[in-house]
């Protein structure tokens, strides 16, 4: 593998006829080895090379005999998504537009802190939620991402920052994962769960569940299962304190209203050291009054909670404006006075449209632009996005 380079992606993506071993569970990997006449223990060896070493070239897996390496190369690949575009912000945020084997795309973002950072991973191509304040929500849902494509996003980030083999001393630059990119993770639960189990495996990528946060808009039936099976940190995109306002800006609330959502939050496995994060985008004149802040405290009563106040990142065509910074500070100060952590999120990567709520694949931007041109010219549009599972 060429650390930090793009050659492995292009090579892997060019051979789509072979099955990729990335994204398979240990059991699935062992089954693939059995299918080519190899013993199950080969899966353990491959797991180490793929997820601990980050290797993409079977020829470089030197603990395997040469005939086996050749056999593996005949049948399989270790595929990464293709990096269509990489942008780095003035604040060091980095965004990748990634193309998958079928040509669909999604965006992945690295969000740096002083001595570490988090990778923001997408779970779907597009989104079905149509939240009124979110740019991603204006892109139609195309399909769910597979475990290979979800894990592959994190592996691309590791490649880019040359963080292979997996650091074992806790000093890694890429220390956290947040499922806050394109899509609703709990609408793609099975694939997300398989990907996270691979990422958390101690003999591979080895990111602790304490360093993984899954963000949901409130898919109530799946929240308990997520807590019981994965045990990762939970963030809830709340953004309103009444059903009237939340129905307007987040249509999912009509299916899972606040009373049901709060009940699911109370049932999620937490403790005082591991609280639910409630994300709250600050929309001027919509949800930012002190009366809203008081209602918010009452709403989460009894839940180990903290807040993440998000200044609205304006995008072309958005109908909302960001609350005045003075009002956001008053809102934050009130929550702090009530005993809650309520920092104001510093916008990151706004200059490359990598900030919260701004992700949207470049192919969709181009498609929408061309659609507008056709409609303006009086040409009937026949380029609807095909919906897939």
Q: What is the DSSP pairing of strand 305-311 with strand 276-282?
A: parallel
112-124 burial, b if ≥16 CB within 10 A, otherwise e? beeeebbbbbbbb
Of 120, 127, 265, 356, which residue is the catalytic one?
A: 356
Of 32, 38, 55, 107, which residue is the catalytic one?
A: 107
Whether the CA torsion 65, 66, 71, 76 is positive or negative: it is positive
Please indicate whether residue 113 is annotated as part of the active site: no
C-alpha to C-alpha distance for 144 and 185, rounded to whole angstroms: 9
Q: What is the DSSP pairing of strand 124-125 with strand 94-99?
A: unpaired
Whether the CA torsion 164, 165, 170, 175 is positive or negative: it is positive
Main-chain dihedrals φ then ψ at residue 342, nearest 5 degrees? -145, 60
C-alpha to C-alpha distance for 50 and 58, rounded to whole angstroms: 9
Please indicate whether residue 127 is annotated as part of the active site: no
End-to-end CA distance of the chain: 33
Catalytic residues: 107, 356
């Amino acid at each position: 593998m060429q650390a930090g380079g793009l050659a492995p992606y292009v090579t892997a993506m060019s051979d789509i006829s072979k099955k990729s071993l990335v994204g398979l569970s240990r059991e699935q990997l062992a089954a693939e080895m059995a299918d080519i006449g190899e013993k199950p223990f080969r899966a353990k060896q491959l797991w180490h090379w793929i997820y601990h070493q980050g290797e993409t070239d079977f020829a470089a897996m030197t603990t395997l005999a040469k005939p086996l390496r050749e056999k593996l190369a005949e049948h399989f690949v270790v595929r990464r998504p293709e990096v269509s575009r990489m942008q780095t912000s003035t604040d060091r945020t980095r965004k990748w537009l990634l193309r998958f084997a079928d040509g669909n795309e999604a965006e992945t973002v690295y969000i740096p802190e002083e001595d570490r950072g988090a990778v923001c991973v997408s779970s779907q191509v597009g989104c079905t939620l149509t939240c009124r304040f979110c740019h991603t929500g204006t892109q139609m849902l195309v399909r769910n991402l597979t475990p290979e494509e979800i894990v592959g996003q994190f592996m691309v980030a590791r490649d880019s920052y040359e963080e292979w083999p997996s650091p074992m001393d806790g000093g890694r630059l890429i220390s956290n994962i947040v499922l806050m990119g394109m899509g609703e993770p709990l609408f793609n639960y099975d694939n997300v769960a398989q990907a996270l189990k691979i990422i958390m495996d101690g003999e591979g990528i080895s990111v602790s569940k304490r360093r993984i946060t899954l963000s949901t808009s409130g898919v109530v039936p799946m929240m308990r299962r997520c807590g019981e099976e994965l045990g990762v940190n939970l963030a809830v995109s709340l953004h309103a304190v009444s059903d009237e306002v939340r129905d307007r800006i987040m249509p999912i609330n009509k299916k899972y209203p606040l009373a049901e959502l709060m009940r699911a939050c109370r049932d999620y496995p937490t403790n005082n050291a591991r609280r639910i994060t409630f994300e709250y985008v600050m929309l001027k004149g919509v949800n930012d009054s002190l009366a809203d802040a008081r209602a918010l405290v009452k709403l989460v009563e009894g839940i180990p909670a903290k807040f993440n106040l998000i200044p609205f990142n304006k995008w072309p065509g958005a109908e909302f404006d960001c609350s005045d910074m003075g009002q956001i500070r008053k809102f934050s100060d009130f929550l702090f006075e009530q005993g809650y952590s309520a920092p104001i999120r510093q916008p990151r990567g706004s200059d490359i449209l990598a900030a919260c709520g701004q992700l949207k694949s470049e192919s969709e931007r181009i498609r929408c632009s061309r659609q507008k041109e056709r409609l303006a010219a009086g040409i009937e549009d026949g380029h609807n996005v095909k919906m897939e599972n």
